[in-house]
Structure 1
Amino acid sequence: MPQTHIRFDWAIKKLLRNKANYGVLAGFLSELLGKQIKIQSILEGESNQQTEDDKLNRVDILAENDQGELILIEVQNSTEQDYFHRMLYGTSRLITDFLEKGEPYGKIKKVYSVNVVYFSLGQGEDYIYKGILDFRGLHLEDRLGLSINQQKLFNIQEVYEIFPEYYVIKVNNFNEVAKTPLDEWIYFLKKSQIKEEFTAQGLAEAKENLLVDSLSEAERANYLRFMENRRYEISLIESSRSEGRLEGIEEGKQQEKMNIARTLKQKGTELDIITEVTGLSREEIEKL
């Protein structure tokens, strides 16, 4: 039985900011983005914020790789209806905050927005989604690309490489069958376990550095308190869902009775008979 490790959402706030654990983060991002990522530094987004209550304070990790690109990583447990808007806000703020005054637009940093969500975000059955910008002609349906000069000037091949890229990992949609190295990471995100046969980049470091037993006594107490709070939140969510399902069933039954009563009334059936058949009161039937 694999050991249970520290949950990623706690680790990302407490442990993965440490330089000693950059390998864990770099491994995860390398598997996700499909290219080798080396973490240059973890940026404290607060340094370029205007106020203490700035929404960017909610960012879990803001990393810069050795190419000068920015990688925004957020983990969200609770449902947020405007989460897509939050993703847009995060990348927009980074683009403006990290462009020095007077610098040309060509100096804008590439931004990757990586979102690990443990709730049902939008509609979609897959567990990993990637979003990039693609310009298409309305008439000719051709793709708008870079000129040769632009490709040489900015050292890129495609327009989408300029714009933010979005990744959404819907952890709960994963069926726990790890077929690829990236799947091994998703398995860890969902189960907090790393199987012996896993070979994905960064998981060896995670296996060694993210053990609950490696925490100090104070950290372990905080972590256990965090886990207890998560269990309580999940319990509340499940309870509300159950209540909602029951309410939905009752509403459906009531609507069905109303439809039957309306049909019988239109056919001239006596109220007493409609009442007996549907269980509705005379007052309810008369209002139909």
Structure 2
Amino acid sequence: MGNKDITDFNEAQLRKRAASKEELNICLTNNYAFQKIFKNEEIVKGFLIALLHLKETDIEELEVTDPFVEGEVKEEKEGILDVKLILNGGKKINIEMQNTYQEDWAERSLFYNCRMFTEGLKKGESYYELPPCIHVGILDFNYLKSPGFYHRILLKDDTTGELYSSKFQFHVIELSKIATTKGKARKQDLYKWAKLISASTWEEIREESEGNHYMEKVRDEMIKMSQDESERYLYLREQMAIRDKASQLRSAENIGIRKGELLKLVTLVQRKIEKGDTVDKIADDLLEDQEIIEKIYNLIRKYPDKDEKEICNFLI
């Protein structure tokens, strides 16, 4: 029951498919589905119980808040979190689903946690009153080198392991490492949540949610989404965006490879020009097409103050 290739659909086709009776698989790695479902307080309560090893009675109050993060001044970066929560009237938690590789994920998580940590502190208040802040990253790609699908990151003394502060935490769930998870970790409730979030078929969703009323609630909400025309459309539109972004990343990688090769060639031509070599000689020595060498040669001569990267940018 896999989805058709969404990239083949234009807007009209997207709406037609949303209005059809075709069975639609819902995946929580889709940002729209994740945000919509995990803003349900009952559902996110079950997830936090598994993540933070809480008892149901430990959660006295849970508030889903405005996910908008505002910069202190106009020039500062703003952002929108997937899900932002306040637990028991104080502890701040944000949960983000990321389905495409982010090279700067660590910096992104630091930015959001730092912003949450400092927001709301009023003049004259003690720093001690700053609430604990937890950033939860659910990644559909490998980011950390260490094995295991789940990582809890704290501020500790590098030598003794003494905890510096428990008020700043990062929890990272790497969905791509679920398959290689072994032993006791597979029996954890969080492992079942990770498998549910990464599930790609209704069969997997039913299997993972069975027997846990919080996860069964997730399943029920996913089924509702799959049967509602407007929800189907928004889900499919986001799915199209995911595919488009993945395609752009692949293109960028290809350009990066070509750029790397071109950068090397420009550097070699610069060195040859410094020796006084002609276009013909450079092309012969480097076994390259004379037309390409001539373009590089002319740009280097025209812009003697430009470095190899700047010359390379003229050619791409």
Q: How far apart are the structure 1 equivalents of 2:96 and 2:41?
A: 16
Q: Structure 2: which amino acid aligns with 1:283? A: D
Q: TM-score, normalised by structure 1?
A: 0.67
Please give the residue correspondences for 1:88-167 in structure 2 after superposition, counting only pairs within 5 Å.
Answer: 88-135=110-157, 141-142=159-160, 144=162, 159-161=164-166, 163-167=167-171
Does 2:80 correspond to 1:61? no
Q: How far apart are the structure 2 equivalents of 1:77 and 1:282?
A: 47
Structure 1 unpaired stretches of 5+? 145-157, 252-280
TM-fit CA distance, 1:79 = 2.6
What's 1:171 paired with? 175
The answer to which of 107-116 and 96-105 deviates more is: 96-105
Among 14, 19, 28, which residue is 1:7 paired with? 28
Does 2:196 correspond to 1:196? no
Structure 2 unpaired stretches of 5+? 2-23, 262-282, 288-316
TM-fit CA distance, 1:111 = 0.6
What's 2:313 paired with? none
CA 1:196–1:188 in 2, change beyond 3 Å: closer, same or farther?
A: closer
Output one character per residue of 1:38-78: Cα deviation in whole Å (capped at 9) or x when no partner: 35211214386546886442311110011520001112223
CA 1:245–1:81 in 2, change beyond 3 Å: closer, same or farther?
A: closer
Identity %: 22
Q: TM-score, normalised by structure 2?
A: 0.61
What's 2:285 paired with? 283
Please give the residue correspondences for 1:170-249 in structure 2 after superposition, counting only pairs within 5 Å.
Answer: 170-175=174-179, 178-192=186-200, 193-196=204-207, 198=209, 199-200=211-212, 202-211=214-223, 213=225, 216-237=228-249, 243=254
Contact 1:6 1:212 in 2 (8 A): no
Contact 2:67 2:84 in 1 (8 A): yes
Q: How far apart are the structure 2 equivalents of 1:24 and 1:91?
A: 23
Q: Secondary structure at the match of 2:38?
A: coil
What's 2:42 paired with? 23
Q: How many corresponding residue pairs? A: 237
Contact 2:68 2:81 in 1 (8 A): no
What's 2:8 paired with? none
What's 1:40 paired with? 62
**RMSD of aligned residue pairs (Cα, Å):** 3.8
